[in-house]
Amino acid sequence: MGRMILGEIFGIKKKNRQTYYTIIFKDLLNGKNKISIIIELQKNDKNKIPLIKEKLNKDIHYQNLNKNGYARGNYIHFLSKSYTLEEEQIENLSDFIVDKIKSEFESIMNKLLMIIDSANLKSNTF
């Protein structure tokens, strides 16, 4: 399948969290030297997309990511970015992924989680 979901590695430890980093390796495994990093929203978190968009619309990190990707059933690839990798980046893939998450995704993920948590507290929907 070529997919991995990351959560606790990047401090997303809350029980029943419905928002994750997802890494798609399919194109890398098929020789295309590409991966995608995704912020995936599931279940109740997915239902908060209009609020999230409203709050993050002017955020530079939000603006630099692709929005509203693949959706199926209870989940959506909400924000994403694909990367074509050089040989050196493939050799140091874990470092590359950590660097990209920290530099391009972590700030927006933290804001997104605060918005979701705040909305959950107001509606008591976890």
pLDDT, one tens digit per residue, over 94-111 is: 999 999 999 999 999 999
Tens of pLDDT, residues 77-96: 999 999 999 999 999 999 99
The pLDDT value recorded for residue 90 is 94
Residue 2 pLDDT exceeds 80: no
What pLDDT was estimated at residue 10?
A: 45
**Per-residue pLDDT tens for 6-56?**
544 444 445 567 888 889 989 998 999 999 999 999 888 898 999 999 999
Q: Which of the 8 DSSP states describes residue 85?
A: P
Instruction: Quote the pTM value.
Output: 0.83
Residue 103's pLDDT is 95
Q: What is the DSSP letter of 104?
A: I
Pairwise pLDDT comparison (124 vs 117), residue with the higher score = 117
